[in-house]
Amino acid sequence: MTDSNAHDFKRSMQQRHLVMLSLGGVIGTGLFLSSGYTIQQAGPAGAVLAYLIGGLVVYLVMMCLGELAVHHPEPGAFSAHATRYLGPATGYTVAWLYWLTWAVALGSEFTASAVFMGRWFPGVEPWIWCGIFSLIVFGMNIISARFFAESEFWLSLIKVAAVIIFIAVGAAAMFGFAPLSGNTEAPGITRILQEGVFDHGVMPILMTLLAVSFAFSGTELIGIAAGESENPEKNVPLAIRATLWRLIIFFIGTIIVIAALLPQDSAGLKESPFVAVFQLTGIPYAADIMNFVIITALLSAANSGLYAASRMLWTLADQKTLPKVFSRVNQRGIPVPAILVTMLGGLLSLLSSVYAEDSLYLALVSISGLAVVLVWMAIAASQFSFRRQWLKAGRSANELTYRTPLYPIVPIAAFLFCALACIGIAFDPNQRIALYFGVPFVALCYLVHYLTRRASANDAYVNDSLSTQQEAIDAR
């Protein structure tokens, strides 16, 4: 291994890799499993509205990230941006929050995969599948960045195709062009319209925003991959635009189909709403095929998550806030120590597969969702600060290769919407654990950064003093 700097990473990712990497990080348990929870809590129409709000928020955040990623394409991404424009302590905290986002998400992805394998192998303990999937994902990350990108491209392509097919078949079933089991009458959008958007109240929609944010988390992977991509000035903006529109279409289309076909009392975390909907259509083996696709999708999301989280550890070490060993990459440009430590986060999957799958899964989703929303807030604040400094230096916004539109409205709106999602979970007893865990975690990050920086300053002072004394002795 060699000591790392930004140039040790290989710029081998193309635009298609960036798009599929982002889609791969997003289309996982948040869509395939926890979308059922959103419908159960907010009702069909309320769930559609919640996902529309989530799509708007991620659009605003990605507009902010685009400007930063194009101007500063580096593996540290928004952690490095926060360090530069919000302060070292905030950048340190953002890196740990994002590491936490994906370390916890690894647990939820592996756990969900084991749950779906139980459909075919009910006698096999879930922790065995968690271990097998951990080894597969580790292998895809450890070979090379190009191999990771290619494997993620094809895994993501499978689930994108599955989502498109799901929307097409579901829409056909909704309007009577495809049969439903038991000669059930095609519901159209009756189930969505029979309840008003706010029949469950405003609060359930607000409470589900964090789960929706978790579902959309992963789009920001483009910012991290920019540091290992070819021609980021051109490819990053194109990838952001392509990803955003695909995600909004996929997510909104999917939630409309599920809300229209699946009774609200049947939605939840016991089974994927995707599998439940295909069972309703009566298409032979459709549910089993979708079960396989979902497992593939979950492994893809875990694959992206391990990649992103390991780059955050590398960033912390590169900023000298973690031991130097984590800033090392091998000759293939892989930060092996950072990947190994991040994989330990996958051990949460073993815990959640043994204890209270439903309740602990939701807790993992909530903690991961809160962490990513706080990261999004930092992205918006970093772009706001960057543009202010840029203009204050006498530069024009037109000089930027890619610029966030409607500044400062976009970063301010993104920040406030994210803050609203954080407030909402305080009223949901099932997700409140995220605040109990997340708030002390943020405070601890700031405290540790303060103490480590102070210790580093003291060490530097002692070394300087010893050096001065030695020089005085030598002079005698």
Q: Which whole number is the average pLDDT over 109-129?
A: 84
Does residue 71 or residue 107 have the better pLDDT? 71
**Predicted pLDDT at 470:** 43
**DSSP element (H, E) containing 443:** helix 433-475
Share of the chain above pLDDT 70, in %: 77
Least confident of 30-34, 127-131, 278-282: 30-34
Q: In whole angstroms, what is the distance from residue 107 CA to residue 154 CA?
A: 23
Q: Where are the domains of the chain?
A: 15-475
| The one-letter amino acid at 197 | V
Q: In whole angstroms, what is the distance from residue 118 CA to residue 475 CA?
A: 76
Most confident of the following: 105-114, 169-178, 370-379: 370-379
Residue 6 — pLDDT band, cuts 50, 70, 90?
very low
Most confident of the following: 81-95, 124-138, 243-257, 299-313: 81-95
Residue (of 178, 184, 188, 183) closest to 283 by Cα position: 178
Q: Is the pLDDT of residue 271 over 70?
A: no
**Predicted pLDDT at 462:** 37
Could you give phi then psi for residue 2, rounded to 5 degrees?
A: -125, 150
Rg, Å, the chain Cα set: 23
Q: Which whole number is the average pLDDT over 154-181?
A: 82
Could you give phi then psi for residue 418, rounded to 5 degrees?
A: -65, -40
Could you give phi then psi for residue 229, rounded to 5 degrees?
A: -110, 155
Q: Answer whether 369's CB lies under 8 Å from 434's CB.
A: yes
Does residue 12 or residue 66 have the better pLDDT? 66
- Mapping DSSP onto H, E and C, the string for the chain reads CEECCHHHCCCCECHHHHHHHHHHHHCCHHHHCCHHHHHHHHHHHHHHHHHHHHHHHHHHHHHHHHHHHHHCCCCCHHHHHHHHHCCHHHHHHHHHHHHHHHHHHHHHHHHHHHHHHCCCCCCCCHHHHHHHHHHHHHHHHHCCHHHHHHHHHHHHHHHHHHHHHHHHHHHHHHCCCCCCHHHCCCCCCHHHHCCCCCCCCHHHHHHHHHHHHHHHCCCCHHHHHHHHECCHHHHHHHHHHHHHHHHHHHHHHHHHHHHHHCCHHHCCCCCCHHHHHHHHHCCCCHHHHHHHHHHHHHHHHHHHHHHHHHHHHHHHHHCCCCCHHHHEECCCCCCHHHHHHHHHHHHHHHHHHHCCHHHHHHHHHHHHHHHHHHHHHHHHHHHHHHHHHHHHCCCCHHHCCCCCCCCCHHHHHHHHHHHHHHHHHHHCCCCCHHHHHHHHHHHHHHHHHHHHHHHHHHHHHHHHHHHHHHHHHHHC
Name the region of 186 (left: φ>0; alpha: ψ -120 to 50; beta: rest): beta
CA 253 to centroid of chain Cα atoms: 20
**Predicted pLDDT at 118:** 86
Q: Which whole number is the average pLDDT over 25-43?
A: 70
**Predicted pLDDT at 87:** 92
**Predicted pLDDT at 2:** 38
Which alpha helices (DSSP H) does 118-189 contain, by range?
126-142, 145-174
| The one-letter amino acid at 163 | V
DSSP string, 36-67: HHHHHHHHHHHHHHHHHHHHHHHHHHHHHHHH
Residues 6+ apart with CB under 8 A from 371: 97, 98, 100, 101, 104, 438
CA atoms within 13 A on the CB side of 167: 17
Tokens of 360: 């602990």
Does residue 454 or residue 261 have the better pLDDT? 261
Does residue 354 or residue 26 have the better pLDDT? 26
| The one-letter amino acid at 414 | A
Q: What is the mean pLDDT of the chain?
A: 77
| Residues β-bridged to residue 229 | 13
CB atoms under 10 Å from CB of 309, counted, come to: 27
Q: In whole angstroms, what is the distance from residue 142 CA to residue 339 CA?
A: 8
pLDDT tens track for 47-59: 888 888 888 888 8
Least confident of 7-11, 185-189, 364-368, 371-375: 7-11
Least confident of 104-113, 227-236, 243-252: 227-236
Q: Which whole number is the average pLDDT over 196-204?
A: 68
DSSP 223: H
**Predicted pLDDT at 184:** 67
Residue 116 — pLDDT band, cuts 50, 70, 90?
confident
Torsion of CA 431, 437, 443, 444, to 10 degrees: -160
**Predicted pLDDT at 464:** 44
Residue 465 — pLDDT band, cuts 50, 70, 90?
very low
Does residue 134 or residue 264 have the better pLDDT? 134
Does residue 275 or residue 256 have the better pLDDT? 256
Q: In whole angstroms, what is the distance from residue 275 CA to residue 288 CA?
A: 8
Name the region of 184 (left: φ>0; alpha: ψ -120 to 50; beta: rest): beta
**Predicted pLDDT at 21:** 66
CA atoms within 13 A on the CB side of 226: 30
**Predicted pLDDT at 4:** 39
Most confident of the following: 185-194, 290-299, 318-327, 400-409: 400-409
**Predicted pLDDT at 416:** 93
Residue 26 — pLDDT band, cuts 50, 70, 90?
low
pLDDT tens track for 260-270: 887 666 555 55
The hierarchical CATH code for the domain 15-475 is: 1.20.1740.10
Q: Which whole number is the average pLDDT over 107-130?
A: 83
Residue 355 — pLDDT band, cuts 50, 70, 90?
low
pLDDT tens track for 168-188: 888 888 887 777 766 667 777
Q: Which whole number is the average pLDDT over 80-84?
A: 91
Does residue 38 or residue 342 have the better pLDDT? 342
**DSSP element (H, E) containing 329:** strand 328-329
**Predicted pLDDT at 198:** 64
**Predicted pLDDT at 7:** 44
**Predicted pLDDT at 401:** 85
Does residue 237 or residue 75 have the better pLDDT? 237
pLDDT tens track for 399-445: 988 889 899 999 999 999 999 888 877 877 777 878 888 888 899 99
Q: Is the pLDDT of residue 190 over 50?
A: yes
Does residue 164 or residue 354 have the better pLDDT? 164
